[in-house]
Amino acid sequence: MFKKALSMVLGLVIMLGLVPAFAEFGPIAKDEVKVGVICIGPSDDGYTGAHYNGMELMKQNLGLSDEQVLYKFNVVENSECEVAMRELIDKGCHIIFANSYGYMNYMEELAEEYPEVVFSHCSGYKNNGENFNNYFGRIYQARYLSGIAAGLKTKSNKIGYVAAWPDNAEVNGGINAFALGAQSVNPDAVVYVKHINSWGDPTLEKQTAEALIALECDVITQHVDSAMPQVAAQEAGVFGCGYNTDMTPMAPEAHLTAPTWNWGSVYTAEVEDLINGTWKPVNYFYGLKEEMVNISPLSKNVAEGTAEKIEEARNKIVSGEWDVFTGPLYNQAGEEVLKEGEVLSDAEITGTFMAELLIKGVEVK
């Protein structure tokens, strides 16, 4: 599906007469291609673990050996990531993926310095039109579905959200989408947000979840990397929605479902295109329809009727009939920021508009 969507994007560009001067990369013999991967966390956490699983799936899909994919784990979002990328370049990597927002500017600079190498960045927004692109997904769609599960499960109508960073479009988009999903089945639901000012800190994640539970939140969700918020939920006898991977095994008595990623789709598409000599510097931003995002299987803990409500919403999104950020939409002060029937653009979802927006029914604690 990625290739079909990519072809449609390129076809539209050509049809409009906006033919870009793409650089040529490849073809490269499959047994010679080398792939570098820069990761913010370890291979077994929620977020980087999902990327690692996707990269391993790419290796399997394309028949690459272990030696052809070089990983750098636990790389900090500062000059350390530049050092790590240079090491991968020195080892002959033809394409380098980086899975965290803070790597973006470093990749942009190195892409200019090394025009013969492809740099592909996750969760940012920059693209130089030559050898540096961006990939991410409409995870807000999956968060909306998980919000339905939370809204049907809560008894206190207080749902806790362990969030990474304030004033970040990706984080706020997830909070807002989750809240909208919960409110779609439970108009009285309120989402209490606490930020940890980090993408991942297992100790702080658990402590923050516990603080939300102390505020009478009986469902805990998260935009942080580990399963510790779900562990905290289980220990307290409440429920939760995880993130990145199915966290039911870590909290079998608490977990409801989790927004999940299929990173293997984009990794397979990009590396295969590089091998074939057809790689282009286009951005990937796909959702439920393209199966890049989803939710994990509903656990035994969900409320009755959850599956039906989620399927109803999923069908509307996948068909294109409706999307999550369709008006009317109101900010925390109750002011209308999107009129009925209007839909936020991708630029608004990924940019300043969303970074500055929290909707009615969301409270930062």
Residue-wise pLDDT for 194-252, tens only, equals 999 999 899 999 999 999 999 999 999 999 989 999 999 999 999 999 999 899 999 99
* Confidence at 26, pLDDT banded by 50, 70, 90: confident
* Confidence at 296, pLDDT banded by 50, 70, 90: very high
* Confidence at 13, pLDDT banded by 50, 70, 90: very low
Token couple for 300: 């035994």
Which residue(s) pair with 295 in the sheet? 259
Count of alpha carbons within 13 Å of 59, Cβ hemisphere only? 18
Whether residue 20 has pLDDT greater than 70: no
Token couple for 71: 């990983």
Q: Cα separation of 250 and 202, whole Å? A: 13
Which residue(s) pair with 160 in the sheet? 192, 220
242 contacts 295 by C-beta, under 8 angstroms = no
Tell me what the mean pLDDT of segment 342-362 comes to.
95
DSSP assignments along 7-37, one per residue = HHHHHHHHHTT----PPP-----TTT--EEE
Which residue(s) pair with 293 in the sheet? 261
Chain-wide mean pLDDT for the chain?
92
Judged by average pLDDT, the poorest of 1-5, 86-90, 101-105 is 1-5
Q: Cα separation of 71 and 294, whole Å? A: 25
| No. of helices (H) and no. of strands (E), the chain | 12, 15
Whether residue 16 has pLDDT greater than 60: no
- Only one residue has tokens 């996707």, namely 54
What are the Cα distances from residue 110, in Å, to 41, 77, 315? 22, 15, 42
CB atoms within 10 A of CB 330: 14
**What per-residue confidence (pLDDT) applies to 7?**
37
- Only one residue has tokens 């028949």, namely 63
Helix axes 2-15, 263-276, angle to 10 degrees: 60
Token couple for 295: 């939710």
Q: Which long-range contacts (CB under 8 A, 24 or more apart) does 118-124 make?
A: 118/25, 118/94, 118/270, 118/274, 118/279, 119/85, 119/95, 120/95, 120/96, 120/270, 121/97, 122/51, 122/97, 122/98, 123/99, 123/170
